[in-house]
Amino acid sequence: MFRMFLSLAICANVICLTLANDAKVAADQNPEVVRVFIFAGQSNMVGSDSKITDVTNFPPFVGYDQPQPDVRFNYCIGRENKSISGGWVPLQSVNGIVGPELSFAREVKKTINGPIAIIKIAAGGTHLGGDWNPDEPSGFKMCPLALQVIRDALADLESQGIPYRLEGFMWHQGENDMFNPEYMANYGANLKNFLSCMRRDLNAPNLRFYIGELCTKTIWGMDLRPRMHAISLGQQSVTREDPLADFVATSHVGVEIGGGVGLHYHYGTLGQLEHGVNYAHAYLKAIGQAEETERKLASWPYPAGSTVKLFVLAGHRNMEGERSFVQDLERMKEKTHLIENDPGIAYRYSLGGGYKISDGWEPLGPAGFY
């Protein structure tokens, strides 16, 4: 009798799990369900020191300065003087700056066939140890503010009968924590607690987080590298242990170096555009829809036993070719052939500190934006 009861219980559990999985698959494949992404953090999540009017200067992103009426956007940005959407609006630049959500949405839409929405809560100069502390928020009390903004935005969708699911939480923050010894030393523990509390308070136990690296290409990144590294170690300690948290590298992006203190630690326009693409690629990889390009050599281009002249090129951003875009070759006479892969020259590479690595030997040719 006990065995029969146990067998029935097991069968019931299997059926329930199957139905649950089927329901999840159905939701994932339902083109009517809005995928809601949360963007939160401090000034590099805001997009500070970027200019929407400069977007046209960067060929891969021409047109990214235009509003996206097919993407819902709800935001609360800033500290003392907040910019608030007051509900859902079309995705667009706020205050003439470039937030990473602009390029993120365009990149995701290239692959995803379905509606997406973005909720953004970001304020410069805020720290996880205080402002974003979910247990004892201080300063600008960003954590309770974020929860309220998110809940109100989701309630608005519900009131309109719009089906949705929380799809991802993009987080870029930590620069200010590195100036407080206690916050810096405990960044990993504080981040772990933040993720746990957000999942609990949003009733989203399986919400995936994408943790953006602090960029070491900025002036702060170079001058304060040990502090930046301490925050990075804290971030990666969380993403290693949490199966629903991914570390998103950003130290390869084309940050702007120029006048003004803000550009000592902000990405600038190009950096923000690439910043958003980083999150998009991380998300698409997490759901198994990352674009894969095959560039392997069809055959080894050199005769067997021949001596091959090997050239090693190494260095920093100028060696990467930063801000020299592949698209520019199309407008240069007698240079358009450089766009094509050359199977007569074998090529291996590691770019952006290991962000992009060749799959063995490939034909010589453009391997990225530059």
> So what's the pLDDT on residue 28?
57
Whether residues 273 and 300 fall in one domain: no
> So what's the pLDDT on residue 103?
99
Beta strands per DSSP E along the chain: 34-41, 68-77, 83-84, 89-91, 116-122, 164-172, 209-212, 245-248, 342-347, 350-351, 356-357, 362-364
> So what's the pLDDT on residue 330?
82
Last residue in a domain, options 286, 305, 322: 286
> So what's the pLDDT on residue 29?
61
Q: Report yes or no on 110 lying in a domain.
A: yes
Whether residues 128 and 69 fall in one domain: yes
**Strand, helix or coil at 356?**
strand
Q: How far apart are CA 89 and CA 71, in angstroms?
A: 8
**Strand, helix or coil at 233?**
helix
Whether residues 134 and 248 fall in one domain: yes
Q: How far apart are CA 331 and CA 334, in angstroms?
A: 9
Q: How far apart are CA 174 and CA 176, in angstroms?
A: 6
Decide the pairing of beta strands 164-172 and 209-212.
Answer: parallel
Both structure tokens of 139:
């300063």
Among 102, 121, 105, which Cα is nearest to 34's?
Answer: 105
Query: HSE (CB half, 13 Å, CA atoms) of 187?
Result: 28
Torsion of CA 34, 39, 45, 46, to 10 degrees: 70
309-355 pLDDT, tens digit per residue, is: 999 999 888 888 888 888 888 888 887 888 889 999 999 999 888 88
Whether residues 256 and 183 fall in one domain: yes
Among 178, 173, 86, which Cα is nearest to 122's?
Answer: 173
> So what's the pLDDT on residue 19?
35
In sign, the C-alpha dihedral spanning 283, 286, 287, 292 is: positive
Whether residues 267 and 316 fall in one domain: no
Whether residues 170 and 57 fall in one domain: yes
Whether residues 37 and 92 fall in one domain: yes
- In the chain, the N- to C-terminal Cα span, in Å, equals 70
Whether residues 78 and 223 fall in one domain: yes
Query: HSE (CB half, 13 Å, CA atoms) of 308?
Result: 13
Q: Are 195 and 188 in contact (CB under 8 A)?
A: no
Q: Which domain holds residue 355?
A: 294-370
Q: How far apart are CA 191 and CA 186, in angstroms?
A: 8
> So what's the pLDDT on residue 23?
36
CATH, residue 81: 3.40.50.1110
User: Would you give per-residue pLDDT tens digits along the chain (370 residues)?
Assistant: 434 433 434 344 433 433 333 333 334 568 889 999 999 999 999 999 999 999 999 999 999 999 999 999 999 999 999 999 999 999 999 999 999 999 999 999 999 999 999 999 999 999 999 999 999 999 999 999 999 999 999 999 999 999 999 999 999 999 999 999 999 999 999 999 999 999 999 999 999 999 999 988 888 888 888 999 999 999 999 999 999 999 999 988 998 877 677 677 899 999 999 999 999 999 999 999 998 888 889 899 999 999 999 999 998 888 888 888 888 888 888 878 888 899 999 999 998 888 889 989 999 998 877 8
What b-and-e string marks burial along 39-75, b requiring 16 or more CB atoms within 10 Å of the CB?
bbbbbbbbbbbbbbebbeebebbeebbeebeebbbbb
Q: How far apart are CA 173 and CA 247, in angstroms?
A: 13
Q: Residue for token digits 């021949």?
A: 306
> So what's the pLDDT on residue 21?
39
> So what's the pLDDT on residue 1?
44
Whether residues 185 and 269 fall in one domain: yes
Decide the pairing of beta strands 362-364 and 356-357.
Answer: unpaired
265-318 pLDDT, tens digit per residue, is: 899 999 999 999 999 999 999 999 998 888 889 899 999 999 999 999 998 888
Q: Report yes or no on 352 lying in a domain.
A: yes
